Structure 1
Amino acid sequence: MTLKSMILTAALALAAGTAGAETFEIQLRNKGEAGMMVFQPSFVTAQPGDVIHFVPVDKGHNVESIEGMLPEGVEAFKTNFDEEFTLTVEAEGLYGVKCTPHYALGMVALIQVGAATNLEAAQAVKQKGKARGRFQELLAQVQ
């Protein structure tokens, strides 16, 4: 995490009233530990009130929620390309995330916040291309 990212994350946490919350950084990469076009890490276990900070390390990526893969009452989100994004997770459940242009290439992530209250709904979402296999691996990590 860069100093600029750390300062931004801390400022956003304070502004959101989440100073005691844990902050997780997810990088958007062309190449990472799990292969090409990845969120790194691609699975995060968080608690309500925690902060997820998405950082585009490489150009050409964005963050978008996946329809059917958000806890009830959570609003969908979508960023512009090459834009940092901070998400404070309040509701328990699974948050499915994709990079819009690289979704079929498997550029997806899963965030578990507390109990996986929407596991069946998340499993029922039809995934495209390599995202299907990656989500099988990610959903297998849900506790």
Structure 2
Amino acid sequence: MKTLILAAFVSSMLAGSALAADYRVEMKNKGSNGSAMVFEPRLVRVEVGDTVTFIATDKGHNSASMKNGVPDGASPWKGKVNEEITVTIETPGVYMYQCTPHVGMGMIGAIVAGEPSNLESAKAVKYPGKAKKVAEEIFSEIEAGN
């Protein structure tokens, strides 16, 4: 009986991990629309348990969560420049992230997991330089459900 219960538990755990998706976000010097210093896509909608892998398509970029830019209880991250990083999304909400060397040039993005319950606190993050305009565009997309 114990073996059967253990087998059912292991099977359910494997089935759950098989359902998780991995999204890819490229870190680029130039986006497909001609914009400089971008994450593509800059907005990703995921489910809790999914992963997002940031690919160093062009050199000189990283992905790091922004200070106060993740939901309460979520783990922040800081990838190294020129290196791929995979982030597992464990808490619902909005995750704002940046390329540390290029945040002032507007190189930011967002992950939305489930309901964007912390949208107002994400809007309150300090966005330097061109990141402020990009953040406004991202928030409009989130609110529109895009």
Q: TM class, shorter-chain normalised? A: 0.7 to 0.9
Deviation, 1:19, is: 2.3
How big is each residue's C-alpha offset from its partner over 1:72-126, in whole Å with a ceiling of 9 and x where there is no partner? 1112211111111111101000000100000000000101000011111011112
Q: State the distance in 2 between where 1:75 and 1:90 align.
A: 8
Instruction: Give yes or no for contact 1:69–1:118 (8 Å, CA) kept in 2.
Output: no
CA contact (8 A) 2:77 2:87 kept: no
How far apart are the structure 1 equivalents of 2:59 and 2:75?
A: 26
Between the aligned partners of 1:19 and 1:141, the Cα distance in structure 2 is 29
Letter in structure 1 aligned against 2:69: M
* Shift in Å, 1:18: 2.7
CA distance in 2, matches of 1:90, 1:32: 29
Do structure 1's residue 95 and structure 2's residue 92 form an aligned pair? no
Distance of 1:67 and 1:117 partners within structure 2:
17
**1:65 alignment counterpart:** 65
Aligned to 2:105, what secondary structure does the other structure show? coil
Off by >6 Å, runs of 4+ in structure 1? none
Residue 41 of structure 2 corresponds to which residue in structure 1? 41
Q: Which residue does the alignment assign to 1:12?
A: none
Counterpart CA distance in 1 for 2:91 and 2:117 is 9
List gaps (5 residues or longer) in structure 1. Answer: 1-14
Q: Which residue of 1 aligns with 2:109?
A: 109
Higher helix share: 2
Task: Specify the SS of the correspondent of 1:140.
Answer: helix
1:1-143 to structure 2, matched below 5 A, reads: 18-34=17-33, 35-142=35-142, 143=145
- Once the two structures are aligned, what percentage of the paired residues are identical? 38
Task: Give the superposed CA RMSD.
Answer: 1.6
